[in-house]
Structure 1
Amino acid sequence: MHFERMAAQYAGARPPYPSRLYDLLAEQGVIGPGTRVLEVGAGSGLATRELVRAGSEVVAIEPGRELARLLGREVPEASVLLTGLEDATLPDGGFSAAVAATSMHWVDLSIGLPRLHAALRPGGRLAVWRHLFGDDSVDTEFRRRVAHVVAQRPREPGAPRVEARPTMDELAAGGWFEPERTEHWRWSIDLDTDHVRRLFRTFSDWSEPEVDAVARAADELGGVVTEHYQSTLHLLTRSASPRD
């Protein structure tokens, strides 16, 4: 529901994925002419338009009605199914690849992975990627301010960072898919105060007072901050016999 309420803002606030990510997927034959790709949780089409641009035939799953409407308008070349993966009716062996861009952490993997396995052809590929908003190797005053806001929240000791999921181990659980490779990209982007506010509002675990706090921090730091991010891609292959 959060993403439904933020549909229009989400489309303009989230930064794009690195072009190298799509280059790698094309090099590996995951996307490109002749591929039929199932996209899970396509949202407003941030990744969808790149899949179509690469020449793929795309069927995009999106459970949010407003997001699906926006997706159909922004990327009319894609077929849009108004459903979640767990409830989707998909043809057996109907796709050469399945992809998920910052969406797979919302999927019940115990249901989703078997469904994807059934929907893919033998040798089909699964590509799961997402942004990590923040790079622990780069220390900035703005990131310290963000960390201070997050530290005020009640949190169970040892709670995992949501941004890290799903891991390769989680995607390979049950033997439905065999790991191929994991790739990481580090990059940076300059955000003004308005973009900071719009971006942080799209994060489902951020309250409006917290968003105000980080926007105020950006303003106090000169009105433009450089954010250092990471993008992570997990690439897997459909197993021939997952239950063996």
Structure 2
Amino acid sequence: MSQLFGEVAGDYDEARPGYPAEIVDALRAYHGGVPGALVEVGAGTGLATRTLLGLGAPTTCVEPDRRMARVLADRFPRVEVVTVPFEEWSPPAGGVPALACAMAWHWLDPATRNRRAHDALAPGGTLAVFGHRYAYVDPAHAAALEAAFESADPEQRGDRPDGWFRADIADSGLFGDIRSLSFRRAVPLDTAAYLRLVSTFSPQLRRPPELRERVLAAVGAAVDGFGGRVVLDLRTTLVLARRPT
């Protein structure tokens, strides 16, 4: 499944919303300054990389999909890109000062991701995991879109709760000083932009082509039905944790 998004590598960065700059401020404050190096896991085409580079740390991106990695390397020539799964990546001796993962924690092996992150960090190093939850400002729009998705494909998957990865990290027992911060933005999208966004979601990419078209037609008609514009209630959760010294 880590190779799923390569199909939309060219559209991913344009369609997906970016990350608030406050994430960098929070990471710097938590770490106690700029880390000597940062590794981003599951970097994709660099949507979070763009924000993380504001930290000013030398950055290495670990991305398993070659199509995504090529886009990433083209966009950020100063970043070292390592094209391997996180499970096959070898951290430098002594570990790295900071490890980040944006919208990819759930793609890592749940049996080993916390242990691998812990072992990749230097003692006292910082783990930063963050991601979006896509909700809607208008409850009526949320209900209409949910009905549209279900009408086209009843096999819908439930969303994970906001910040689910905090519990995952805490329950591992491997990290200390765990903190969670939330950021919220209203993001307006017209019908075309919303359909581009939906086309980058993993449930949509898993569907066969004919079903993809039915889904896009149903949700596009729903957005058109309330004026051709939907406003996302974009909720971003950042979880910070520390490898004990």
Given the two structures, how large is their TM-score scaled by the length of structure 1?
0.87
Cα–Cα, structure 1 residues 213 and 154, in superposed 2: closer, same or farther, change >3 Å?
same
Give the match's secondary structure for 2:64.
coil
Distance 1:92 1:127 in 2: 20
Aligned to 2:139: 140
Q: Is the 8 A contact 1:68 1:82 kept in 2?
A: yes
AA paired with 1:20? E
Q: Is the 8 A contact 1:31 1:56 kept in 2?
A: no
What's the CA shift for 1:183? Answer: 1.0
Aligned to 1:213: 218
AA paired with 1:85? F
Aligned to 1:189: 187
| More helix as a share of residues | 2
- The match for 1:199 among 197, 200, 224 is 197
Distance 2:4 2:100 in 1: 22
Aligned to 1:27: 29
Q: CA RMSD in A?
A: 2.1
Matched, 1:91 2:96: no
AA paired with 2:98? A
Aligned to 2:233: 228
- Aligned pairs for 1:18-167 (under 5 A) are 18-29=20-31, 32=34, 34-134=35-135, 138-152=137-151, 153-154=154-155, 161-162=159-160, 164=162, 166-167=164-165
Give the match's secondary structure for 1:9.
helix
AA paired with 2:123? P
Distance 2:163 2:20 in 1: 19
Distance 1:109 1:165 in 2: 16
5+ residue gaps, structure 1, are: none
Q: How many residues align?
A: 234
Residue by residue over 1:212-240, the C-alpha shift from the partner in whole angstroms, topping out at 9 and shown as x without a partner, is 22222222222222111211111111134
AA paired with 1:239? P
Distance 1:31 1:113 in 2: 24
Distance 1:31 1:65 in 2: 33
AA paired with 1:49? R
Cα–Cα, structure 1 residues 30 and 220, in superposed 2: closer, same or farther, change >3 Å?
farther
Decide which moves more: 226-235 or 172-181.
172-181
Identity %: 32
AA paired with 1:13? A
Q: Is the 8 A contact 1:38 1:60 kept in 2?
A: yes
What's the CA shift for 1:70? Answer: 0.4
Given the two structures, how large is their TM-score scaled by the length of structure 2?
0.87
Q: Is the 8 A contact 1:92 1:120 kept in 2?
A: no
Distance 1:190 1:132 in 2: 15
Distance 1:46 1:160 in 2: 25
Distance 1:197 1:150 in 2: 12
Cα–Cα, structure 1 residues 31 and 87, in superposed 2: closer, same or farther, change >3 Å?
farther
Give the match's secondary structure for 2:94.
coil
AA paired with 1:101? A
Q: Is the 8 A contact 2:21 2:51 kept in 1?
A: no
Residue by residue over 1:95-119, the C-alpha shift from the partner in whole angstroms, topping out at 9 and shown as x without a partner, is 1010001011111132222222222
Matched, 1:172 2:170: yes
Cα–Cα, structure 1 residues 230 and 165, in superposed 2: closer, same or farther, change >3 Å?
closer
5+ residue gaps, structure 2, are: none
